[in-house]
Amino acid sequence: MTKGTLLYEGKAKRVYETKDKDCFIVSYKTDATAFDGKKKGSIEGKDRVNNLMSARLFEVLEEKGIETHFVKVLEEHEMVVKRLEIIPVEVIVRNVAAGGMAKKLGLKEGTPLGKPVVEYCLKSDELSDPMINEDHIEVLELADKEEIQTIRKMALKINQVLKAFFLERELNLVDFKLEFGRYQGRVILGDEISPDTCRLWDLKSGERLDKDRFRRDLGAVEESYLEVLKRVTGMIN
């Protein structure tokens, strides 16, 4: 399969058309941004880590009956995906207070939450991805009631599967962001699952092994991404 017209270029990925009208090629980039694009940089090898890690996790989720847009890995930094009609909502699931939630609610980062918390944000750079609720999603006609319930159920199931998967690899899944889309009338999982979109803390040391190392200038960014890839896929380098 070869890349056709470039359809879309985002902060972390390019999406290309293919000859197959039901498939796109996603090409991951090394570019890294944070704080609504105010902080810019690049993380060497991030394109490969995010692609291969997402591919493995999509496989794990499919094995557990969760439909994703993943079709196959094409190159180390590229995958073939199903062509989705993206629902422009970021779905965040949290197990531990950190980042935005810790700040907003005055909680100490690292405070365990009694149950997973699902949040929604409108995907809008212009508005800085404001938090919205299920009623907003409905009145903005981003998704209907039934789709919203499906998304919430899928997000919680994905959390259950991923939390256990990461735990076996001595990683604490603190929180993560998902995106969903429509495919042949069904809501399925899209986007990526990577250190860019998850907070992953080493189970023993509590060390952050995710994009917060870039956001907060903690150093060892590339090494941390590679460490996560190693634990997720068993790859040595």
- Stretch near ligand 5GP under the rule CB under 6 A, chosen from 20-28, 53-61, 99-107, 180-188: 99-107
Residue 90 or 227 with smaller CB distance to ligand 5GP: 90
Shortest Cβ 89–ligand 5GP spacing (Å): 11
CB of 90 to ligand 5GP, least distance (A): 5
Does the footprint of ligand 5GP cover residue 99 (CB under 6 A)? yes
Stretch that binds ligand 5GP, among 16-24, 40-48, 180-188, 196-204 (CB under 6 A): 196-204
211 binds ligand 5GP (CB under 6 A): yes
* Residue 116 touching ligand 5GP (CB under 6 A): no
Binding mask 55-94 for ligand 5GP (x = CB under 6 A): -----------------------------------x-x--
**DSSP code string of the chain:** ----SEEEE-SSEEEEE-SSTTEEEEEE-SEEEETTTTEEEE-TTHHHHHHHHHHHHHHHHHHTT--BSEEEEEETTEEEEE--EE--EEEEEEEE--HHHHHHHTPPTTPEEEEEEEEEEE--TTTT--EE-HHHHHHTTSS-HHHHHHHHHHHHHHHHHHHHHHHHTTEEEEEEEE-EEEETTEEEE-S--STTTEEEEETTT--B-STHHHHTT-S-HHHHHHHHHHHHH----
**Closest residue to bound ligand 5GP by CB:** 99
List of residues contacting ligand 5GP (CB under 6 A): 90, 92, 99-101, 129, 175-177, 196-199, 211
